[in-house]
Structure 1
Amino acid sequence: MMSLGCRGLILMLLVAMSPNSVWAEGLGDPASQKPPEKKVDLYLSGHAMGFFPQDKDLTVGGAGVPRTDIRGTFGAGIKFEAYPWFTNKILGGEIEAFGLGGSVRAPRITSGSGTTQAQGNLIAVNTMYNVMLRYPGEMVQPYIGVGGGTSIGVLYDALIQHGNLALTGTSGDMAFAYQFLGGIKAFVTKRLFVFGEYKYFGTKYSFDSEGASHSKVKLDFQTHIVSGGIGWSF
């Protein structure tokens, strides 16, 4: 007759080998275990940019300054993106901040109404909130977006004149800004990516001028921006 110890050992082996046993479920099959899927895809990135302003209106007291030439130099920025699970990680939001530097020029012209001229340097610091639409590929992610926000424009070393109205020195303004953008991300590793982007950005500044009527100097600033950068996926 089998001893009590042997029967106990056989019973333990049968329980351990059973596919429905608690012990077997506790150990699990490593091949069948998958990491939990992220509920939100998060991206942080920085970029450098070049921009190409359009020669739009510069006015002093409502009168246009002819042959205005707006030139760009360089810019840089940082942005944070989030794509939540309830949009299938296709539709998301982005917050970005970037700065641009440039200049405003118009030749000196003397006529019966007086002298008209413009020169000065412009810095624009922008905070934008974008709605983004993308293809969530593993290696390549094209995307488009549209956004609005605020732009702080600082015009310094300025000499803008039309007749007896003038703006000299430094002046600043905060204005509403808008943009349309599109680009593509390419993942170098599972987390690290590079990207290229185009955007069309616009805003309108209204600077205080000197002179008897304290009229406004207004600048319609619109520019094409091309940027490239590097980022990290969390």
Structure 2
Amino acid sequence: MSIRCVMYVSLAVAAAAGQALAIDVRSTFDSVNPGIDCQITYNSGTTENTRAGQMNWTRVGGTYAGLQGSYSAFCIEVTQNIGYGGTYDYDVNTLNSAPRPADGSNSPMGQAKADRIAELYGRHYASLSTNSDFAAFQSAIWNIVYDTDNTIDTGSFSVNSFNSSDSTTRTKANTWLAGLNGDANYFRQGLFALTSDTVQDMIVPSPGSAALLGLGGLVLSRRRR
């Protein structure tokens, strides 16, 4: 089954501080769970049916060893396709220089939006537990990337409906967005993006290695040959 930009974010990590790496990750897309099916509108007009939640992946190859086995992600790019069971190649990149859609729209997000996502992670990621939690978290990420307000109800990006727990999920996402005040004490360290010119980009939290600290300014972008 192919889904239009299964919006789920994936942050990858660097294996050693200060070292330029040959970065490449090949992964198979397994599922979106926990999560909730929903309908979204982005760029003030394009409407898609998708699933908001945690993306589950299995690394199957590539030269970059920072991700091994199964890992989870969230989407940061809604204008391209991936499909369940598909295998895709990604570069590891800094979050502020993602996403990287082919049409160049909304790309890159820049440091201010990357900081808002880092704060969202720092404040709420560790406490996510229900389908509603994960759907709200994903929706908040999309809103940060594609909009400038603090609500998923209206604007350049919006969630038109969730198939279940609509009011609860919507309220969580809006409350979390409104609570982002730029407090750097909450910024999650080590967030990286998996990027591609041809399929949707993702964000995954790092495993917390001390080697990742201080890599925020390291540009690890590499165009695919």
Higher relative contact order (CA 8 A, sep 6+): 2
Of structures 1 and 2, the larger Rg is shown by: 1
**Same fold, TM-score > 0.5, yes or no:** no
Larger relative helix fraction: 2
- Normalised by the length of structure 2, the TM-score is 0.26
